[in-house]
Structure 1
Amino acid sequence: MKKIISTSILSIIALLFTCISIYAQTIRRCNNNVGVSGLNVYTTIQAAHDAAADGDIIYVEPSASSYGTLDCTKRLSIIGNGYFLAQNSNVSFDLRMSMINGITFNAGSANTSVTGIYTNNLGFNNVSNITIERCYIQNTNYIAFSSASQSFITFSKCFITGNIWGYSEAHSPENCTFKNNIIGGGIKYFSNSVFTNNTFSTQNNSTLTNLVNSTIANNIFRSNACNSCVQQLLFDPIIHTGTTISNNIIACLPTGNTCSFILPTGNGNINNGDYSTLFLLSDPYDVGLIDKNFQLVLTSPAKGVGTGGTDAGAFGGANPYVLSGLPTVPITTNFTTSGAGNTSVPLQVSVTVRANN
């Protein structure tokens, strides 16, 4: 009898059995690959959400196409396969991403976590306590679609190419955390929030603006030195009321120029660094925007300049950025099969699984 096994299924079999023994919640699967069906398998993320109960886990399995959009009104754990899998080594054997076009968090979705997902945009509609970790996020994202404030939104170890904005200065999100992200867009309108160990690869003047009573520490900033930008200071105290700025480094392109955006003197801040000496590539911003290229070289001026002698940037600190956004669950790194079997010739399968932190 011939056996046909979907590689998409096999890529998570070990992961599922491990998690079933750990969690009491129902595990639901998003899989839109041809021929995959069964109990608790859904072809869209919204269908998986609608069938789920608070506390359930949804695995968004690798696919060549998106699972659509999600209006989230439940407390869920949504786990994907990561991103940049073809560009980085030692990752899942299935190199396809887990894609969701967009996620809007609504009332009822508090304490939801999303990890390992590629998405175009996120929206936060009057909801708090959301964790976005190890995700690839594009386009502009708004934390509030109305004038109500949001709070306790966490972005950790994400690759972000779009903007993340609060609703307005008068209704800014509070107690939010941005840590160990690589960020290519602008962030503004936050209060009582923390921005630590991020690598800001953007070269515009809106990298961080309109922050109130917040902390900016251990970050790397890129400055594109140009005369037209000189008067638009990134860290003007007028637009950062009560904010503490320490142990950051701002580096310039082109090399040898003076930074247009200036960090406050003292408090361990470093101005006018040489951007071309920071990372594995002299300017990773202009080379395909792949996360691995933002790793620090051994001689990087960002080494040891963070609080307590830690490295500045996304790969520094106690919980550094994880390449490809690999989720904190076991992953299948290798799979081989003889492809067929019968009563006299068993099907031969070899699976290698690695734990992730």
Structure 2
Amino acid sequence: MKFFTGILALCLAVLTLSETKATIRIVDNNSFDPANFTTLQAAHDGAVSGDTLYVIGSGANYGNLSATKQLLIFGPGFFLGENPQTQANPVPAKVGSITFNTGSENSLMTGITFENQVTANASNITFKRNRHIFDYDLTSIISIGNNVSNIFIVQSHIWATDVTYDHSSYYSYARCINVGSNCQNIVIKNNYISHNYSNSANHRVIYSPSTSSVDFQNNVVWGKVTIYNSIVYSNIFRFGVFDGGSNDIQYNIGDATQFGTSNGNQENIDMTTVFETSGTSDGKWKLVSGSPAISAGINGADCGMFGGPNPYVLSGIPVIPSIYFFFGSSSGSNSTGLPIQVKIKSHN
């Protein structure tokens, strides 16, 4: 594993050298691997704005982060053992509570597994191809502060895992995504978002107040959405409620009457006819052959998370090459060296 991590670091450095002149730092808390840093906060504190952090998959959480610098943070993805040609080391990089503060504008987190709340108190933050897991003692999975703009939540798997505990006895506003007041250009596209708990009207997948606006497209949703002044295109509601006001609602599909039938919307659709329903944790939300969601979205594209110009990517593999196969011999010689085999795949 130590040798593999060294090869990985070398490959990452070579493959990204032409794309950035910023420092690349390895974050790795596996006890047998050398690394620049073993916690995300230490890596942040030791970096300068514009640096890139590569977080290696591990069984241990990398802890919390309070960010005041612009950083590009890459993890390996998630569901790595389920989908083919993901990573040779099929272990996710898990983090705790993450907060982006003033100074962290234009940061990116991708390929990360969040096990606690993430908060954006700064503008121009991108969350791309991540897995967000909800716990019963959180008010929201993703919290967007007041008076921020250009927050991108895209190609991610956001799931409220606790479906039996009465959240309302803890917090009245347990939400997957909570948008603050006076927020503009909050982009939520090509995600799987599920909040299975439905005993309280406040347990929403997304809440955005009437002073803010959301660009909500190509999502697969289970739960309640309340948004205003927003674009609502090409989504699939497996189950739930949609409300709010002053929205542009077109080419969506609902299991009930969430969207009506005007403007290309479809209602009362049997969801067993829409998705493959079997396969990997995220692959089962691909459209089945003959699905009513095929070519039913805006501009003739598919509805759902795999539709549109920037479809969901299985396992949240980041937009960097990944080593999906690695074999190293346990012995070598001065004449032959140490034989290794590496297979690398690029990702868009």
1:144-293 aligned at under 5 Å gives the runs: 144=144, 148-162=146-160, 163-167=176-180, 171-185=181-195, 186-190=205-209, 191-200=212-221, 202=222, 204=223, 206=224, 208-209=225-226, 211-223=227-239, 234-236=241-243, 239-240=244-245, 242-251=246-255, 259=256, 261-281=257-277, 290-293=281-284
Structure 1 position 352, deviation (Å): 1.2
Give the secondary-structure state (helix, strand or coil) at the position aligned to 1:64.
coil
Match of 1:141 in 2: 141
Structure 2 CA distance for aligned equivalents of residues 92 and 183 of structure 1: 24
Give the CA RMSD over aligned residues: 1.9
User: For structure 1, which segment, 338-347 or 291-300, has the greater mean C-alpha deviation from structure 2 after superposition?
Assistant: 338-347
Give the secondary-structure state (helix, strand or coil) at the position aligned to 2:185.
coil
Structure 1 CA distance for aligned equivalents of residues 150 and 100 of structure 2: 13
Equivalent of 2:73 in 78, 81, 85: 78
Structure 1 position 5, deviation (Å): 4.8
Match of 1:320 in 2: 311
Structure 1 CA distance for aligned equivalents of residues 143 and 305 of structure 2: 22
Structure 2 CA distance for aligned equivalents of residues 43 and 5 of structure 1: 14
Structure 1 position 332, deviation (Å): 0.7
1:82-101 aligned at under 5 Å gives the runs: 82-101=77-96
Matched, 1:118 2:113: yes
Match of 2:289 in 1: 298
> What do residues 12-59 of structure 1 show as CA deviations (whole Å, max 9, x unaligned)?
432221112321000011011123225xx1000111000000000000
Structure 1 position 341, deviation (Å): 2.4
Matched, 1:27 2:27: no
- Structure showing greater Rg: 1
User: Which amino acid letter does the alignment assign opposite residue 244 of structure 1?
Assistant: D
Q: Could you say if the C-alpha distance between residues 302 and 144 of structure 1 is closer, same or farther in structure 2, counting changes exceeding 3 Å?
A: closer
Q: Could you say if the C-alpha distance between residues 12 and 325 of structure 1 is closer, same or farther in structure 2, counting changes exceeding 3 Å?
A: farther
Q: Could you say if the C-alpha distance between residues 332 and 156 of structure 1 is closer, same or farther in structure 2, counting changes exceeding 3 Å?
A: same
Which TM-score applies when normalising by structure 2? 0.86
- Answer yes or no: is the 8 Å Cα contact 2:96–2:117 preserved in 1: no
- Unaligned residue ranges in structure 2 (runs of 5+): 135-139, 161-175, 196-204
- Answer yes or no: is the 8 Å Cα contact 2:208–2:214 preserved in 1: no
Which TM-score applies when normalising by structure 1? 0.84
